[in-house]
């Protein structure tokens, strides 16, 4: 495709030196949507533009529900966004839940509704705890939450 683009654009316009992915954000988004979590994290470190694009919540939404057998209801998006967004959902709940459940079962399997539900429940707990700590008012301290057990390395 790269070559085609080159030749066609060379034919049609004045000389364009290269194909810069950065000029085509939509394509970039499509590509990033297909990455897994860690790779997405790496991609976000490439440059300022990529970092901005990688923060796009729809990419993370795709990532979260990639393994789901049936697409989740639309109302889920509203809830997730209200509670902190898909990126956070992935980072705080889905990835640990997926990795822990996969350890014991098959490696890459399709998520069931129950597992999604569990992740969402845990995500709610996370939000609730962040949203108003008694006394300390340190709302953003994600580490001290009841989801800490998800942060621990498993059985190390």
Q: Which residues bind another protein (CB under 8 A)?
A: 73, 75-76, 78-79, 82-83, 96-97, 100-101, 104, 114-115, 117-118, 120-125, 127-129, 131-136, 138, 141, 143-146, 148-155
Query: Residue 29 or residue 37: which is nearer to another protein going by CB?
Result: 37
Task: Give least dist CB 119 to another protein, A.
Answer: 10
CA distance 95 to 63: 10
First CA to last CA distance, the chain: 46
Query: Residue 50 or residue 95: which is nearer to another protein going by CB?
Result: 95
Task: Give least dist CB 31 to another protein, A.
Answer: 30
Query: Residue 50 or residue 86: which is nearer to another protein going by CB?
Result: 86
The DSSP secondary structure of 13-53, one letter per residue, reads SS------GGG-HHHHHHHHTTS-HHHHHHHTTT-HHHHHH
For residues 151 and 135, is the Cβ–Cβ distance under 8 A?
Answer: no
């Amino acid at each position: 495709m790269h070559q085609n683009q080159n030749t066609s654009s060379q034919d049609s316009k004045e000389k364009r030196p290269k194909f810069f992915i950065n000029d085509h954000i939509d394509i970039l988004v499509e590509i990033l949507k297909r990455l897994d979590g860690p790779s997405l994290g790496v991609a976000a470190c490439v440059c300022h533009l990529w970092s901005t694009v990688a923060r796009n919540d729809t990419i993370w939404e795709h990532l979260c529900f990639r393994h789901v057998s049936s697409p989740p209801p639309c109302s889920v998006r509203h809830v997730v966004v209200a509670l902190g967004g898909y990126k956070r959902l992935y980072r705080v709940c889905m990835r640990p839940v997926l990795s822990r459940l996969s350890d014991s079962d098959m490696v890459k399997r399709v998520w069931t509704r129950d597992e999604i539900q569990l992740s969402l429940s845990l995500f709610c707990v996370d939000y609730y705890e962040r949203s108003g700590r008694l006394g300390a008012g340190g709302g953003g301290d994600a580490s001290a939450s009841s989801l800490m057990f998800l942060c621990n390395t498993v059985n190390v």
